[in-house]
Amino acid sequence: MKKFITIIVALLSIHSASAWSKAIHAGIAAIADANLTEQTKESIRQAFDGRNIVYYAHWMYDMADTKGYEQTKNWRSVAIAKNNKPLKSKKVASHSEDVVRRAQGLDALAAAIRAIESGTLTKEQLADNIRYIVTIVGDLHCPTHYIFVDNLPQRKMHYFYNDKKQSYVGYWENGSIAGTFPWKSNEYVHQLNRKSPEQIAQITKGSVTSWVISNAAAYREIYTLLKDGQKFNQKSYRLWQNTIYPISTEQAAVAGYRIAAILNGLFDSNVANVKIK
Amino acid sequence: MKKLFTLLLFAVLSSYCAMAWDNRGHSTIAYIAERHLTPRAKANIESYIGGRSIVYYAAWMDYNRSTPPFDITRDWHVDYWTDAHRTDENGNPQPPCSVSQIKRIVSEMGDFRTLSDSLVNVNIKFLVHLVGDMHCPVHIDFPTSRPMKVTMDKKTVKVHAMWDAHVLNSKHNGTSPMQLAEEFDIFSDEQIAKIQLGTPDDWHIENVAISEKVIQMIPKSKKITYDNYLNEAIKYAEDRITVAGYRLASILNSIFDK
Amino acid sequence: MKRIITTLALVCILGSTNLCFGWGRDAHAAIAYIAERHLTPTAKANIEKCIDGHSIVYYASWLDNYRAAEKSWGKLSHVAHYDIATCKPIGKPYKYMKSSINKLKKYRELPDSALKVTIYHFVHSFGDYHCPGHVAYYDCSGEKPKKLITSSYDIYLQSQKSRYNYHKLWDSGIVQLYQKGWGYMDWGHALDSSVPEEYIKSVTEGTLADWMTDIATRTKYEYNIYGRAPAKDKLADDNELSVVDGDMFNDFAEIAAKQILIAGLRMAKVINEIFGE
């Protein structure tokens, strides 16, 4: 057990720049896919030559080193000011810290939505922008993708599991769900796609920016659950994980419903568009 | 020299035995096939395998290759690049390979009801696996690719080890075979009918060409990244898995839909 | 690469379940999922109402997650005890399980929290009692039952070329090594595709005591589990350990598959009888 956690967490820290794990991204996309209207599904199927959004859930990451897609590395997180509002684009671009400059996720998401709304895209561009939405909205529901500029050092917070130093950021991106539920993407749907229409309406209410603001407020709270340098043994670690997984699984579900809301708004004429602001 | 070559070929064939698709790949092939079985074929097949799905036995041959009585199947998982490789220097046939075994089993199963339950049971397990194996590019022995190694994630691996699992898993790690089948099985009935045309021999020739292609695609530096290899290779892996699934369905329907 | 993957997989397996924690998460989820596939719509709706709308699969490993939190939950034994002469269940594990089922029969009268914990206990431990590694035999001829055989020792697992805890092999090793990359829905689909009605009837007949005796009898005689890999000292040299070779491993995989299916079918029967009205 010790060895496992050590190695897995070590692996996770290596990938800590890469957001939710592949399985979680795919799980979120699968929940979204299950909530698309037929009209939306058909439009996406055409754009993707028959594929679905689950297939492309992690695509933005797979393409990060491909020429023409390098900028997507800056689209994975969002910079948040002290009042929990997203930092203005100009301030992000001119910030002294690299981690803030790279937090352009909300702008990229807005650009993708506007591009699709414009209706002037080629098939390939349309496909790219759908894929951006799926991945970015997923990431914007991962607490560690919120860069709180007033408290940057908290990103470096660590804990000790059986005396080995581990990063909280790494834990969030996979262990926060997989440490309790080693689900496959279709199992995310089976387990988490259980909200009533009223609950879904509540979750998808508001604009993309309002989602980010409310997420930011909630995710700030999450840091209060973490204590820098906290020491866990097997028992206390399990108990701590028990406090985390209800939050992380809920975020995965919320992300799935919101992706569906955006895409249904864009592709189904009977569904209202989700506003950016 | 020729003798040395033959010896090498044997050595490599035996080492290949551990290769071809991993459990995820084989299971996905079986799922895709299952989605295209006729209800009658599916019911007939499952009555011989205890009410389980064929997916359960997708990799069964891999677990039963080293001990009697199934150690005779050890070499069945691979195939020869050209007909010239099917005999040794003295004209003696090489060990049986996947295509010849598929043909033999299909002909033996012509009237499956006259066969013993256990023979039908084991033949189902063979077909479910071998049709997958014969569509895996690296299960074909090719002298130039054999010793080739590549570097991935700072680790050096053999090309066939990379194809064994890493190509598919580089994109689909964390996705279950059930979901993969859902994502891959997107072709129209006409397209599927076209894919299912031909014989195992035709499919072998097609697969040899694809094997050559995926090996030629390997960058000269032998350093594998998403950008220079995997993003393209994954398309071939998905294609082969999907095609294998459709063809497995067509073989099983031809035997069991009666 | 393969070796690295295998080693990693093994490390994951070695660590992912704690010693004595019963079936691993995958097997527990598979059992609950198979049960769910056989629930009547009324039974499914009724039991899910009691657990906040979640699937029973969600709680299949709850007892493992929370055993550290509450002493009383940890004490709900995961290993069942049997009289070696008769293979009849004895002691607390059987008593607790019987009492949980009896409590569920009056589920409408139970307070909310007690009902939940009772369901969590049932969906977890009922699965455990179908795991051949969870059978402990006692000599009951004397005044006090004397523990004779458990699965708590190491063997040498040939396919992994390493020492392996025999109990852990049954809990999670077999399931994860035999069908790598599978989720619980894959297990449910593959094992429970078209199981003949007569088979379902034959394995679900009888009482809890009958079912537990059935497991203990199979483990002792039909499966001959402990006889095949006799216990050796935990600290024995690798060369002295009993070897589980490929053949034996395949046999074990078949037994595990059978037991997972049977456990799911029986769990469904109990839930249908109680919650189906």
Amino acid letter, residue C132:
P
Mean pLDDT of C67-95: 86
CA angle B157, B160, B164 (to 5 degrees): 100
pLDDT of C68 > 80? The answer is: no
| Nearest Cα to Cα of residue A241 among A223, A221, A225, A259 | A225
Higher pLDDT, B51 or C79: B51
Q: Identify which of B133, B125, B145 has the alpha carbon closest to the alpha carbon of residue B98.
A: B133
pLDDT of residue B143: 59
Here the tokens at position C251 are 């046999």
For residue C6, the model assigns a pLDDT of 37
DSSP code at position C39: S
The DSSP line for A140-167 is TTSGGGEEEGGGGGGGG-EEEETTEEEE
What pLDDT is recorded for position B102?
Answer: 95
Q: Tell me the average pLDDT of chain C.
A: 87
> B162-176: b or e for each residue (b if 16 or more CB lie within 10 Å)?
bbbbbbbbbbbbbbb
- Predicted local distance difference test score (pLDDT) of residue C171: 87
pLDDT band at B92 (very low <50, low <70, confident <90, very high): confident
Neighbours of B159 (CB within 10 A): 21
B248/C55 Cα distance (integer angstroms): 35
pLDDT (tens digit, 9 = 90+) per residue, C132-172? Answer: 989 999 999 999 999 888 888 888 998 888 898 888 899 88
Which residue of C10, C65, C186 to mutate against A (max A Cβ within 10 Å)? Answer: C65
CB contact under 8 A, C15 and A2: yes
Among partner residues C2, C179, C195, which is closest to B51 by beta-carbon distance?
A: C195
Provide the residue ranges of all domains of chain C, joining segments of one domain with +: 7-275
Nearest CA-CA distance, residue A130 and chain B, Å: 17
CA B14 to chain centre: 16
- Residue C133 has a CB neighbour count (10 Å cut-off) of 28
Whether C257 and chain B come into contact, CB under 8 Å, resolves to: yes
CA torsion, ordered B150, B155, B160, B166, to nearest 10 deg: -120
Backbone angles phi, psi at A236, to 5 degrees: -70, -30
- The three-point CA angle B49-B51-B56 to 5° equals 65
- CB proximity C4 to B under 8 Å: yes
* φ, ψ of residue A142 in degrees (nearest 5): -105, 115
The least confident of A57-66, A134-143, B44-53, B145-154 is B145-154
- Whether residue C65 and residue A241 make contact (CB cut-off 8 A), yes or no, is yes
- Of C210 and A62, the structure prediction assigns the larger pLDDT to C210
For the record, the structure tokens of B131 come out as 């049709």
The bridge status of strand B149-152 relative to strand B223-224 is: parallel
Cβ contact B48:B124 at 8 Å: yes
* Chain C residue nearest residue B39, CA to CA: C194
Range scoring the smallest mean pLDDT among A194-208, A225-239, B6-20, B49-63? B6-20
Helix ranges (H only) for chain A are 2-14, 22-34, 38-47, 59-62, 89-94, 98-101, 105-118, 123-139, 168-170, 176-178, 185-192, 197-204, 208-223, 234-267
What residue of C is the nearest CA neighbor of B57? C190
Q: Encoding tokens for residue A141?
A: 């529901």
Does residue B56 form part of some domain?
yes
Region B157-176: mean pLDDT is 84
Q: Which CATH architecture has domain C7-275?
A: Orthogonal Bundle (1.10)
Nearest-Cα distance to chain C for A208, in Å, is 28
B218's CB contacts (< 8 A; 6+ apart) are: B148, B150, B159, B224, B229
CA closest to C250 among chain B residues: B63
Across B182-197, average pLDDT? 96
| Residues of C whose CB is below 8 A from B162 | 1
Q: What is the pLDDT of residue C10?
A: 33
Percent of chain B residues topping a pLDDT of 70: 89
| pLDDT band for position B19 (cuts 50, 70, 90) | low
Cross-strand bridge partners of residue C215: none
Give average pLDDT by consecutive 10-residue segment, chain A, 277 residues: 38 44 93 98 96 94 90 95 95 93 96 97 97 97 94 90 88 90 95 97 97 96 87 90 93 98 97 95
pLDDT in the model for residue A19: 64
Angle at A23 between CA A17 and CA A28, to 5 degrees: 95
Instruction: Specify the pLDDT at position C241.
Output: 85
Chain B touched by C8 (CB under 8 Å): no
Touching subunits for chain B (3+ Cβ pairs under 8 A): A, C
CA neighbours closer than 13 Å in the CB half-sphere of residue A60: 32
For residue B50, is it within any domain? yes
Identity at C140, one-letter amino acid code: C
Q: Which residue segment(s) compose the domain that B129 sits in?
A: 25-256
Decide: C178 and C186 in contact? Cβ < 8 Å.
no
Spell out which residues of chain B touch residue A54, defining contact as CB-CB under 8 Å.
175, 179, 182-183
Q: Which CATH architecture has domain A2-267?
A: Orthogonal Bundle (1.10)
Contact B178 A22 (CB under 8 A): no
CA distance A59 to A18: 12
Judge: C182–B46 Cβ closer than 8 Å, yes or no: no
Query: In Å, what is the CA distance from B233 to each residue of B147, B171, B177, C1, C229?
Result: 19, 10, 19, 18, 44
Cis peptide before B69 (omega within 30 of 0): yes
Classify residue B59: in a domain, yes or no: yes
Calculate what percentage of chain C has a pLDDT beyond 70. 91
pLDDT tens column, A108-130: 999 999 999 999 999 999 999 99
- Which residue blocks in B51-97 are alpha helix, DSSP H? 60-63
Mutate one of C14, C56, C58, C162 to test the A interface: name it (highest A CB count within 10 A): C58
DSSP per-residue string spanning A188-223? HHHHH----HHHHHHHH-S-HHHHHHHHHHHHHHHH
Q: Is the pLDDT of residue B192 over 60?
A: yes
Q: Give the model's pLDDT for residue B8.
A: 39
pLDDT score at C154: 86
Beta strands at C154-157 and C162-165: parallel, antiparallel or unpaired: antiparallel
Question: Please, which contacts does B191-196 make with residues 24 or more away whose CB atoms are closer than 8 Å?
Answer: B192/B36, B192/B246, B195/B243, B195/B246, B195/B247, B196/B246, B196/B247, B196/B249, B196/B250
Query: How near does any CA of chain A get to the CA of B109, in Å?
Result: 35
Q: Which amino acid is at B79?
A: D
Amino acid residing at B97: C
Taking CB atoms and an 8 Å limit, are A182 and C8 in contact across chains? no
- Distance CA(A106)–CA(B28), nearest Å, equals 36
Secondary structure of chain C: what % helix, strand, coil (to 5)? 65, 10, 30
Q: Look up tokens 């589990």; give the residue.
A: C225
State the total domains in chain B: 1
Phi and psi at A128, nearest 5°, equal: -55, -45
Alpha carbons within 13 A on the beta-carbon side of B152 = 25
Mean pLDDT in residue range B212-232 = 90
pLDDT for res B142: 60
Q: Does residue C3 surpass a pLDDT of 60? A: no
Q: Is residue B13 part of a domain?
A: no
Tell which residue, C153, C117, C132, has the closest CA to residue C212: C132
Residues of C in contact with A5 (CB under 8 A): 15
Identify the band that residue C18 occupies on the pLDDT scale cut at 50, 70 and 90.
very low
ipTM exceeds 0.90, yes or no: no
Angle at A183 between CA A180 and CA A187, to 5 degrees: 135
d(CA C4, CA B166): 12
Q: Is B79 helix (H, G, I), strand (E, B) or coil?
A: strand
Range in A145-149, B6-10, B154-158, C242-246 with the lowest mean pLDDT? B6-10
The predicted pLDDT at position A16 comes to 35
